[in-house]
Amino acid sequence: MDQPPASSDRPVLPLQYAHPRTAADEQSNAEAAIMAGAALAGYRRYFRHTRDAVRFYGEFQSRRFARGTVDQICKGCGAPTANVARIDWRFVIPMRTMEFGMSTEGNRAFLQTHHSLCDECFRRTALRVQRFRRRRAGAIALGVIGVILLIQSGRMPSPIGSWCAVLSLGLVVLTMLFVKLILRPPPLPPALQHVVAGTFENISRIP
């Protein structure tokens, strides 16, 4: 699982979007950056347009972790298994300063990866995913309450309005800390947490 896709399966780096070096060098550099886990903002430099970096990254990772590449070794406990799990990811590559647009669809996308995961590890992962979603919903609710209180505080008489403003800011800060410290890393076995430089969305079993 630590090898790039076979040559026949490799997505092709479009010449018209590459920097003026040889296509082979650009292809190898882009693939090596992905394999090394480079930050997406740094990997973007191999492309003239961010949308092409997004497309290449999605195609490369989808082929790298395609259904046919699973090794039948559970990524949770290391036991032999024929069960396969599919993970949905969302990833975003920041656009350059000079890239303007009214839509962000050009720099974000979804992809799927496939991995061996035994019944027990899948069950444990599914439970962690449920808890993860409940915590995420709670964090969103705190943030919404904080924003509402902040808006309403301007309409309240002093000192009630001042206290509401302080409370709302505290809730917003608490939400940010909650997201950073508790909702990361994703609720997956350690071996699968960083296979993609993106945000975990869902995991499902492949029949």
What pLDDT shows up at residue 22? 52
Whether 165 is in a domain gets the answer yes
Task: Tell me whether residue 174 is in a domain.
Answer: yes
The reply to whether 148 and 103 lie within a common domain is no
2 found inside a domain: no
Contact 169, 146 (CB under 8 A): yes
Q: Do residues 16 and 56 share a domain?
A: yes
Secondary structure (3-state) at 115: strand
Partners of residue 80 on adjacent β-strands: 73
Is the residue at 123 inside a domain?
A: no
User: CA 87, CA 112: separation in Å to the nearest integer?
Assistant: 6
Indicate whether 27 and 76 sit together in one domain. yes
Inside any domain, residue 125:
no
Q: Give the model's pLDDT for residue 113.
A: 95
**Position 122 in a domain:** no
Query: 104 vs 61, 94, 109, 138, 171, CA distance in Å?
Result: 21, 9, 10, 27, 28
Domain co-membership, 29 together with 79: yes
Position 61, amino acid: Q
pLDDT at 178: 66
Residues 103 and 16 in one domain: yes
Contact in structure between 157 and 89 (CB atoms under 8 Å): no
pLDDT string in tens for the chain (207-residue length): 455 555 555 565 554 444 445 556 777 888 888 888 888 877 888 888 888 888 899 999 999 999 999 999 999 999 999 999 999 999 988 877 777 655 555 588 899 999 999 999 999 999 988 888 887 787 777 777 777 777 766 666 667 666 666 777 777 776 676 666 655 667 889 899 888 888 888 999 987
Q: What is the pTM of this model?
A: 0.71
My answer on whether 86 and 168 are in the same domain is no
Task: Identify whether residues 48 and 83 lie together within a single domain.
Answer: yes
pLDDT (0 to 100) of residue 185:
64
pLDDT at site 100: 64
Q: Are residues 176 and 194 in the same domain?
A: no
Interacting residues of 40 by C-beta distance below 8 A, sequence separation 6+: 53, 57, 91, 92, 93, 94, 197
Contacts of range 35-42, beta carbons closer than 8 Å, 24 or more positions apart: 35/2, 35/4, 37/194, 37/197, 39/197, 40/91, 40/92, 40/93, 40/94, 40/197, 41/93, 41/94
Query: Domain range holding 157?
Result: 130-181
What's CA 98's distance to the chain center, in Å?
24
Give the number of domains in the chain. 2
Please check whether residues 151 and 200 belong to one and the same domain.
no
Query: Do 45 and 63 share a domain, yes or no?
Result: yes
User: Would you say residue 171 lies in a domain?
Assistant: yes
Residues 94 and 169 in one domain: no
| Structural domain includes residue 148 | yes
Looking at the structure, tell me whether residues 69 and 158 fall in a common domain: no
Provide the 3-class DSSP secondary structure of residue 200.
strand
